[in-house]
């Protein structure tokens, strides 16, 4: 380990941060005193011995990039994707899968224990049921310029679009769609994001926001022709204009997925757990922590991914969701699957908690930002005996658990995002004073 006052650092990577950077320790001298500070180096692996060029210095940490790899870690592996380190879609392809799981567990444990949260056991991350091409839904960036179409994902720490020809993250049908776009010639001159989802039918749904008043370049015509020429791949194109959604063509092929013996209908704009193959495992394990109770409140219920399977073991489920399309899909899913003990309510979590009746269990599955201060206040007023918290962001999970001050009685992770630094955590919480 060399001193961090120079333009380079030589040392060994010890861990991976929750953002996917390799972490080493450097020594910094200030006012005659030596301090240890982390250095974050992307695309490194625990056990790598290397020389890193320092690219950015902060007061409490430093960023570097690999200058020379002296000795590669035994956990380093060859990344299969030719776009790796250029495309920002994934950041751990170079790490063996067992090591990815170990490092994700280590990250979460560190973040929670740093907040003083007592854990009943060491954290285990359950592996994904699919290693590659597991995402059924993705946002695709598209640039129309110079007579060509450039489609793919943003570069690492950049807005530039990488023209993707290979990807081991998205479903193969979504990759086929991206490859199709990259072969297109066009007179369009604009940049666009498209939301693409795969369903059980084997076809895709594509959602595009189009400002008709400014669409002088003919994006709508391009989409109409794309749809007409590729009906074997594209089942629906949804056009969003002035907050309304319409479809191209006459035939609507619904997006569906099956999980826990339930078939779910969804829309490109609604949230789903994109790793469908592993979603069944996530839901099963989460429902086990909910248990058999009379009433359960599912905040951030979405299309009913947890609410409907929970209904098999709970007498009454209240599913609260703010998105209208998700509530519509959730109510439809309950009806089509003959599930009668789930009530969907369109409301923000904040508004509902102001007058919420008592519930035996509250299930939380918030966005990456975690629960808002108003939701935390509402939960503390409601004081359910048990909370089950599903989180895709360990940092906001640690913050919220610290504020709730419940006891952690069970915890585990499910690797819904192989080859990325993301992880889905499930935590069972019991009220300190209401435990029997």
Contacts 24+ apart (CB under 8 A), 263-267: 263/200, 263/333, 263/336, 263/337, 264/303, 264/304, 264/305, 264/308, 264/329, 264/333, 265/303, 265/329, 265/332, 265/333, 265/336, 266/197, 266/303, 266/329, 267/205, 267/207, 267/238, 267/325, 267/329
CATH topology of domain 137-198+202-253: OB fold (Dihydrolipoamide Acetyltransferase, E2P) (2.40.50)
pLDDT per position as a tens digit, 43-69: 999 999 999 999 998 888 999 999 999
* CATH superfamily membership of 8-76: Nucleic acid-binding proteins (2.40.50.140)
Is there a common fold for 98-130+271-430 and 137-198+202-253?
no
Residue 192 has pLDDT above 70, yes or no: yes
| The architecture CATH gives domain 98-130+271-430 | 3-Layer(aba) Sandwich (3.40)
Q: Are strands 62-71 and 33-41 parallel, antiparallel or unpaired?
A: parallel
pTM flag (> 0.85): yes
* Predicted pLDDT of residue 344: 98
Question: Which residue ranges make up each domain of the chain?
Answer: 8-76, 98-130+271-430, 137-198+202-253
φ/ψ of residue 333, rounded to 5: -65, -40
pLDDT per position as a tens digit, 176-186: 999 999 999 99
Mean pLDDT of 291-315: 96
Lowest mean pLDDT, pick from 27-36, 302-311, 397-406: 27-36
DSSP code of residue 55:
E
pLDDT per position as a tens digit, 200-252: 999 999 999 887 666 666 898 899 999 999 999 999 999 988 778 888 866 66
CA distance 333 to 306: 12
CA nearest 9: which of 25, 32, 31, 33?
25
Mean pLDDT of 327-351: 97
Q: Which residues are catalytic?
A: 392
* Predicted pLDDT of residue 247: 86
* Predicted pLDDT of residue 261: 93
Are the CB atoms for 395 and 18 separated by under 8 Å? yes
Sequence-distant (6+) residues with CB within 8 A of 398 are 111, 112, 114, 115, 117
């Amino acid at each position: 380990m060399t001193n961090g006052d120079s333009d380079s650092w030589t040392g060994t990577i010890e861990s991976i941060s929750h953002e996917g950077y390799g972490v080493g320790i450097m020594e910094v001298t200030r006012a005659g005193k030596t301090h240890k500070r982390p250095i974050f180096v992307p695309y490194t692996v625990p056990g790598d011995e290397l020389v890193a060029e320092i690219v950015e210095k902060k007061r409490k940490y430093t960023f570097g990039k690999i200058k020379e790899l002296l000795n590669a870690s035994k956990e380093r592996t060859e990344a299969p994707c030719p776009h790796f380190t250029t495309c920002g879609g994934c950041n751990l392809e170079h790490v063996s899968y067992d090591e990815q799981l170990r490092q994700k567990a280590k990250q979460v444990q560190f973040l929670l224990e740093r907040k003083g949260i007592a854990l009943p056991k060491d954290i285990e991350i359950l592996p994904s049921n699919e290693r590659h091409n597991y995402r059924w839904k993705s946002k695709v960036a598209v640039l129309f310029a110079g007579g060509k179409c450039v489609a793919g994902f943003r570069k690492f720490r950049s807005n530039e679009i990488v023209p993707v020809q290979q990807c081991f993250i998205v479903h193969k049908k979504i990759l086929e769609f991206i490859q199709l776009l990259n072969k297109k010639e066009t007179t369009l001159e604009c940049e666009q994001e498209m939301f693409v989802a795969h369903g059980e039918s084997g076809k895709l749904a594509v959602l595009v926001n189009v400002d008709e008043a400014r669409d002088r370049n003919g994006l709508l015509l391009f989409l109409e022709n794309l749809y007409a020429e590729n009906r074997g791949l594209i089942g629906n194109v949804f056009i969003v204009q002035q907050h309304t959604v319409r479809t191209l063509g006459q035939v609507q092929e619904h997006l569906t997925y099956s999980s826990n013996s339930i078939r779910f209908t969804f829309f490109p704009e609604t949230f789903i757990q994109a790793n469908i193959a592993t979603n069944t495992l996530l839901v099963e394990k989460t429902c086990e922590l909910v248990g058999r109770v009379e009433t359960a409140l599912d905040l951030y219920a979405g299309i009913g991914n947890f609410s409907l399977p929970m209904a098999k073991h709970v007498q009454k489920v209240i599913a609260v969701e703010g998105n209208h399309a998700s509530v519509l899909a959730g109510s439809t899913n309950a009806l089509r699957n003959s599930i009668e003990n789930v009530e969907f309510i369109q409301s923000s979590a904040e508004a509902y908690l102001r007058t919420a009746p008592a519930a035996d269990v509250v299930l939380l599955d918030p966005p990456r930002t975690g629960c808002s201060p108003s939701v935390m206040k509402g939960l503390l007023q409601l004081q359910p005996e048990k909370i089950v918290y599903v989180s895709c962001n360990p940092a906001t999970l640690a913050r919220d658990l610290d504020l709730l001050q419940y006891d952690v009685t069970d915890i585990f992770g499910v690797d819904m995002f192989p080859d990325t630094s993301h992880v889905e955590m499930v935590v069972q919480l019991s009220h300190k004073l209401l435990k029997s």
